[in-house]
Structure 1
Amino acid sequence: MLLLPGAGPFTHDGSATGVLLCHGFTGSPQSLRPWAEHLAARGLTVSLPLLPGHGTRWQDLQRTGWQDWYAAVDRELRQLTERCEHVFVCGLSMGGALALRLAARRGPAVSGVVVVNPAVTFPRLQGYALPVLRHLVPSTKGLISDIAKEGVLETGYDRVPLHAAHSVRSLFSRVREELPQVTQPLLLLRSRVDHVVPVGDSAVVRAAVSSTDVTEHVLEFSFHVATLDRDAERIFQETDAFISRLATRKTARDGT
């Protein structure tokens, strides 16, 4: 199956500090590639996988579910922990939900979490209709390229398969239940204006996690896909500072 332009995965072998990046629902690694390349240029080991069913055509996503997407990032995390001393997980939108679930379930394997406009809720009215509607209508209009910066486009699907959307709803429900199990340091970056994910989702995350080290920044000049938008450099710099602080602190604590 041919991939959409720029939708391929990205990996880089670097230092003993690893970073796993998780892209969003109906999106692709293209939305996070500048972030991944920035971290790689800093010498870190980086993994940005393509989630199953993504990056090709929306009909392929129809045949997958949250268990497939989570299994993919969980596998990448395990591989990173085999060759890195510290591993950080990052995510955009639904990728943020996947990153938070990894932190909740993998505990000490995750040194810290960075999420950009994390999605953890599903529209109530659409959610009520999905169990029936997904058997009657295969897809609905999608929303990609929610970007304030002119001339920048996101590579993803312009249709949302409803079976997969129903699975996203189930994922979000599980993640909300597991948020109290997240104890790692958390860096949360949210756009003031987001046409895809409610601003309240970040508040849900912040209020529910058990992390004592939580830093939140508001992105004033970007919409949902902030990693491709006007605040991208700020995201990269804040991630640098977050990882450097924690990796240095953990190394000193371990006496290595």
Structure 2
Amino acid sequence: MPVLPGAEPYRHEGGEVGVLLCHGFTGSPQSMRPWAEYLAERGLTVSLPLLPGHGTRWQDMQLTGWQDWYAEVDKALRELTARCARVFVCGLSMGGALALRLAARHGDAVSGVVVVNPGNKVHGLAARALPVARHLVPSTKGIASDIAKPGSVEVGYDRVPLHAAHSLRNFFRLVDGELPQVTQPLLLLHSPQDHVVPPADSARVLARVSSTDVTEILLEQSYHVATLDHDAERIFDESLAFIGRLAPDVVEKGSTTGG
């Protein structure tokens, strides 16, 4: 199945500091591509994988679950740690949960975590119905493109496959239980006005991690997909400053390796 235009994975070979970016549920690398390119232009090694079942058609996602999505980012992290001296993990929405689990499980191999509107729970009455509903109804309306900025569009599915949503619900429960194992420095940015993930999810993450170096930033001008919204540049700048503080050897401007 061909990948949707713009949804391709992205990789840049830069310096000794690596960054793994994880996109969200039913989304694609397109939502993170400007962030990835921003970091790459400043000399970092960047990996932005396409999660299995994403970036093609929603029916393909019905055949995947959280184990597939996590395995993909786990593999990407191992590739980065084999090549780079320091590695940071970043994520949007479900990608935030993936990043937090990587931090919980990989310990010192992860130098810091940056999450934007991280998901922690599937909310609403429909969530309770998922175990049964997924056998009766294949999909429901999509959640893509919750963006305040006019003309900015997310490449994602217009339907949510319910088998995958049920797996996501189970994954969020798993990650919630592992949050106390997250000890790395954490930068959490979230939108007070988010129509996909409520602020309660960010509050839950902040309350449960064991990190002592924690920074919380409100994205007042953006909705859920803040990486494509009015606050995108702020996310990029704050993440680079966070990485630069923890890894002072970061090349701030330009890559010495080319490409």
User: Percent of pairs identical after alignment?
Assistant: 74
Output the CA distance in 2 between the equivalents of 1:94 and 1:176: 12
Mapped partners of 1:174, 1:87: distance in 2 = 23
1:49-68 CA-to-partner distances (Å, cap 9, x unmatched) read 00000000000000000000
Q: Distance in 2 between matches of 1:71 and 1:65?
A: 10
Residue number in structure 2 paired with 1:17: 17
User: Residue 150 of structure 1 corresponds to which residue in structure 2?
Assistant: 150
Aligned alpha-carbon RMSD (Å)? 1.0
Distance in 1 separating the partners of 2:134 and 2:160 = 11
Q: Distance in 2 between matches of 1:79 and 1:194?
A: 33
Deviations 1:11-50 (A, max 9, x none): 0000000000000000000000000000000000000000
Corresponding residue number in structure 2 for 1:171:
171
Shift of 1:248: 2.0
Structure-2 residue corresponding to 1:254: none
Q: How does 1:1-256 map to 2 (within 5 A)?
A: 1-248=1-248
Q: How far did residue 101 of structure 1 move?
A: 0.2
Partner Cα separation in structure 1 for residue 249 and residue 50 of structure 2 = 31
Alignment partner of 2:189: what SS?
strand
Structure 1: which 4+ aligned runs deviate by more than 6 Å?
Answer: none
Q: What is the number of residues matched between the two proteins?
A: 250
User: Match of 2:103, SS?
Assistant: helix
Kindly indicate whether structure 1 or structure 2 has the higher relative contact order, using CA contacts under 8 Å at least 6 residues apart. Answer: 2
What amino acid does structure 2 have at the position aligned with 1:40? Answer: A
Which amino acid in structure 2 is aligned with residue 30 of structure 1? Answer: Q
* SS in structure 2 at match of 1:248: coil
TM-score, normalisation: structure 1: 0.96
CA distance in 1, matches of 2:120, 2:249: 30
Residue identity in the other structure for 2:17: T
**Residue type matched to 1:200 in 2?**
A
Question: Aligned partner of 1:167: which letter?
Answer: S
Residue 3 of structure 1: how far off its partner (Å): 1.1
Q: CA deviation at 1:192?
A: 1.5
CA distance in 2, matches of 1:50, 1:59: 16
Q: TM-score when scaled to structure 2?
A: 0.95
5+ long unaligned stretches in structure 1: 251-256
Q: CA deviation at 1:124?
A: 4.3
1:145-184: per-residue Cα shift (whole Å, max 9, x none)?
1000000100000000000000000000000000000000
Task: State the 1:5 CA deviation.
Answer: 1.5
For residue 147 of structure 2, give the secondary structure of its aligned residue in structure 1: coil
Tell me the secondary structure at the aligned position of residue 248 of structure 2: helix
Q: 1:171 to 1:185 in 2, by over 3 A?
A: same
Structure 2: how far apart are the matches of 1:154 and 1:248? Answer: 33
Query: What secondary structure is seen at the aligned counterpart in 1 of 2:54?
Result: coil
Secondary structure (helix, strand or coil) at the match of 2:207 reads helix
Could you tell me how far apart the structure 1 residues matched to 2:64 and 2:57 are? 12
- Distance in 1 (CA, whole Å) between partners of 2:126 and 2:224 is 20
- Mapped to 1, the partners of 2:220 and 2:25 lie a distance apart of 23
Rounded to whole Å, the distance in 1 between the matches of 2:204 and 2:40 is 31
